[in-house]
Structure 1
Amino acid sequence: MKSTSQKMAQWLKPGVATIALLSLLTIGMQSLNAKPIQTEASPPVPTLKPVPTQKGTAPPRPAPAVRLPGSVKTAVLRAHARDFQMSIKTLRVVSFSQETWPDSCLGLGRPEATCGLALVSGWRVEVSNGAKRWFYRTDRTGRNLQMENTNNASSLPRAIEQKVLAIAAKDMGVPVNQLKLAAARARGWDGCLGVADPTTGCTMILIPGWQVIVTAPQQYGVYHLNQTATLIKQNPTTSGKGTLVPTFLQPDPSTDGSNTGDVIFQSMTSGGIAGLAYKTLLMKDGKVMRIDLRQQTPAAPTLIRQLTSQEVQAFVATLQQNEFSDFLGFNYAPIGGADYFTIALTASGATQSTQYVDIVQDQTPPKLQQIIQAWNRITNPR
């Protein structure tokens, strides 16, 4: 039986075969004369050559990892526990970095402060209690340390400070030389500078400005002002009497107020001799839940109470009537003292908390006391 190629050879006559051969040669010449198609060549794979080493020597070792000296870590944690009246057991260093500060004030001095103009090698240390974060600057040894916080009044221009003190002297009835600007932070206000009774309509515009705390003997005033201090108002809700003067809390980037969920209100409690740490939440359905935070993996929430819808509505009304939002970002803590609990209160959708120490809750402003008492009645099981 003949193969396919043999059959084809028989079918092709000599003349036809010659024509076909010439056609193939013509096509081949056209292909050779055509412009070549440009293609991107793959880069050559580099050949790794071994690093030559001297005979009898080992190859270079990688640089050792940077470690935070134990003395610096201890100094920062002790300072924070002392200043914020917190148990050192609830604190930990979560991050750090080596830094070079521009002066002996670690870059945090006021314009009129005397700071040695010499570069200072040191550290920037982040401290957390699981709910909030604070940042500290130190020198190389940790002997010189300062907290980066919103209470650093150096951010307020001197001319603005003088205007505020002049107004505060009239309001408090004391000479200017008895007043002190204790804290300042940048804030944005509505048309009423955030100070108005519930019946007043305030234009919803953003006025950039400041919030400051001015202290006098046995009293303090909280003032709201625009950037140029042409508008200044005292906030009677957050101003108070006595020696306990609040500070401003460090902003917490993890709290943006966008994720409200089913939580209406919550508190974070930490400290005490046993180093307790737990969260208590009021849910929309009236459930009061508690979560123990001492374990690495928090335990499941425990139901401690069930409120009626009327009780939930009454508590929400208490928050509104006592202007809880005015206290956001304030910290009420004594200087020194024995073991105590630190409690941070947060409402649904809020971007900051209100923090206080249990042993001084009766020294906080009257409206905040009303809120604390209402929350304690809810969270203490009967």
Structure 2
Amino acid sequence: MKTMLKNYCTTNQARIFTALILTGILSVSSGGTLIKNAMAATANQPTQTTSEVLKGKIKTNRLPNQVVNAVLRDLARRERISTKELKIVDYSQQTWRNGCLELPQPDELCTQALVPGWRVVVSNGQQNWVYHTNSNGRFLRLATAQTPSVNLPTSVKNAVLQAASGRLQQPVSRLNITQAQQKTWRDGCLELGGIDELCLAALTPGWRVVVSAVNQTLVYHTNQTGSVIRLNEKASENTDDDKVKPVPIPTSELPPPLDQNVVFRQISSGGFAGRTYETVLLKDGGLIRVRIGDANDSERSVRRISVQQVEQFQRLLQRYRFSNYKNLNYPAPNGAADYITYTLTSRQGTVQYNDISRNDLPQNLLKVINAWNQINSNTQT
């Protein structure tokens, strides 16, 4: 980072020097003084400028000076070090989901209001600290202050960071452990077992660890050494991951439960034609599609997949936690028209989405949808 900033300042100095020559201001007698003053002006830019150049590109939204000063002063007070030893290495605008800036203290009641603000990463060259602030820095919280990770075993830390790095496709250097809490899990699956998974019924000491990156937070459950680690996908879902904000489906609008021999069902409705189709997958591999309201049943189609494929799809529903989206609707943008709404139902629950916002859905839900669409496209009459 120091090298990058040095190069940035050097480039600015060269530009200033060139400008002085072109305008004829520079002279033999006064040139040294002008250059010296120009270099001093460049070096004395506000602290926030150091965070403007990140990874070779310019940040378009500048971090306000009052936020910079508030964060640096708070950390300097906490760590009893000079603000001169601290540097802001990354920041991003955020909209926090509650008045606690998504960092509530135990048993704290948080106002359920969206709070515009910033996520700021500060470094002393050896350690990083992550802050959540409001828009002007008058209200801020240190993420690592809530549940310090000082006692987190190195083996657990490394295991969690490696897992998060692989999932987010980001280097470990860009990840921060913002929370680490000792836990005693109720079973050997760390309380994250699947529906049909056999979990050892024994108390398991371990850790709950939160890893943060830009626009993403992951929550992991581990055992005491980190040799067993699981991602809590439901807790990891956040507003950054869900580009479309889900809303509960009213009970009165939920479809009827599945028949005993049905594994999965899709109901599609809307579009230009305004027709409604129902497709069901049976336990024996039968795939039946009908149009609702077709008196002659003329559009019925019957296809088939293998029982092994049915079982594979059921395992996929568990693997990607389809139940996490139980009774949620991902609505279309306001003013949208002629879109198709899909209602998917499994034994774990029902979820709704539409063809306009499909690509903005959570990644795990998309994986389920893609697998289901593949079953539909690969079956034979």
Q: Shorter-chain TM-score category? A: 0.3 to 0.5
What is the TM-score with the length of structure 2 in the denominator? 0.39
TM-score (ref. length: structure 1): 0.39
Larger Rg: 1
Tell me: higher relative CO, structure 1 or 2? Use CA pairs within 8 A at least 6 residues apart: 1
Q: Which has the higher helix share?
A: 2
